[in-house]
Amino acid sequence: MPVADHPPPGELDPESRQASPPPTRDRSALDLSRPRRLHVCNAGGAGMSAVATLLVEMGHRVSGHDPARATPFLPMLLEVGLHVSTGPQPPTLGEDVEAVIVSTATPADDADVVAARARGMPVLHRAAALGAICAQRTTVAVAGTHGKTTTSALLATILAGSGREPGYVVGATISQFGRSAAWGGGGPLVVEADESDGTFLALAAHAGIVSNVEPDHLENWGGEPALRHGFERFVAGLDGPALLCLDDRGAAALVRHAKEPVTYGTSADADYRLGGVAPEGSGVRFTLDHTATGESVDVVVPAAPGAHNAANAAGALAAAHRLGVPLAEGSAALAGFRGVARRFEHRGEAKGVTVVDDYAHLPTEVAAALAAGSTGGWRRIVAVFQPHRYSRTEALWRDFAHAFRDADLLAVTDVYSAGEAPRPGVSGKLVVEAVLEADPWALVAWLPRLDDVLSWLRGVLRPGDLCLTLGAGDLTTLAPRILAMLEDRR
């Protein structure tokens, strides 16, 4: 059964909740070169709110509805002057509406969809609408199995800080901007290009970044070969440079498919070579060399620790450089970066314990977040992991075996379903088994409910600890409860 485009509490990057054929690039699906009257379904979701925001700021007349009473993205819509009706029953669709925009999860019997079809009105998928938006502007699409939200935010920060007046569409709030989407001025449009349902194939992008390609969303794609072929099509469809991370085997394999391949990473063969990675406060420091010119810059990225974020920043700097931003100017602009919601987000401190929340839910992401935490000078890392989706847990649970090596203590909850039906034999306990098979002496607790986790943390947290919550579901709601518990603990 389709579910709402908006994420459940705390989930900021909606993914396709059901298998669907990947969309194709189509510049003619919606003509946005003149003012239009449009209606957006599921408008309070991360993806749909971004589309609605850009449409409003482009000068179109937009209305919207969301079945949820409240979502984290409704304030952004109010800020741009778009009132969204909420609740299970939408008001009557306006007579002047020219097209309705839906998400993958909007059900076919949605009242707005039924009304639009009865009038012979176009009903367009979000991917087609986003593609039409991108067609109005030079677009940089940021893709990859993980890291695309942070990389998109870093690129938008570089372009804004260097006076390029970018627009941006990102799956989480960029802290220094206070929102996740804006049309901006006359500069490039930075778009987080989602591969989960094939949206990245529908974008009219000039340039693109691919940070990595790893198995995920395989049920939507029909297997790993189809997913990798999707990335090949994405890269081949770019009009300009494809920025590819040579440190990732999947991204490196795309070089031969790009019209204008540009590489970055720690490899000696990279066009933009990354080196000297080291912690710097709550962020990371590194050097970036442009091998073609010999230019070298020292880079400090605040609020984004870890080697993986150094690579993300290198990709963003390289892309900005190809768009005309000098490396030194781009590096200076990164001083304004203040982080992204749920990406190693500092949620507070209490009684000597630091609480950080991270969206990491794939094995590589979890390992990277914990590695970043290990550079922060805390005495111990107490990690809590919430597996995300039954399908993903069933496919990847063995791959978590070594992902938690930098955690001193680990608690694993049951699976956050994200709308999926339970599967026999699939639970968070599979992750526990994988960890203990790899290291029988690992200190791991199987705590299915969040209330169980809170009770466990009450007993184990000590001054000097980092409490790191990891997962894409409602685990993010635990952070304020942990802080309150610590304040009340005798």
Residues marked as catalytic: 148-149, 192
CA dist 382 and 408 (Å) reads 6
Q: Considering only CA atoms, which of 439, 469, 442 is closest in space to residue 457?
A: 469
Helix (H) or strand (E) holding 62: strand 61-66
CB atoms within 10 A of CB 371: 15
Helix (H) or strand (E) holding 406, with range, is none
Q: φ, ψ for residue 384 (rounded to 5)? A: -125, 125
The CA-to-CA distance between both ends of the chain, in Å, stands at 47
Query: What gap in Å lies between CA 300 and CA 316, rounded to an integer?
Result: 13
Position 171: which residue type?
A: G
Residue 11 vs residues 84, 225, 320, 335, 341: alpha-carbon distances, Å? 20, 28, 29, 28, 10
Phi, psi of 209 (to 5 degrees): -125, 135
DSSP E strand boundaries for 103-197: 123-125, 139-143, 167-174, 179-182, 189-192
Rg over alpha carbons for the chain, rounded to the nearest Å, is 22
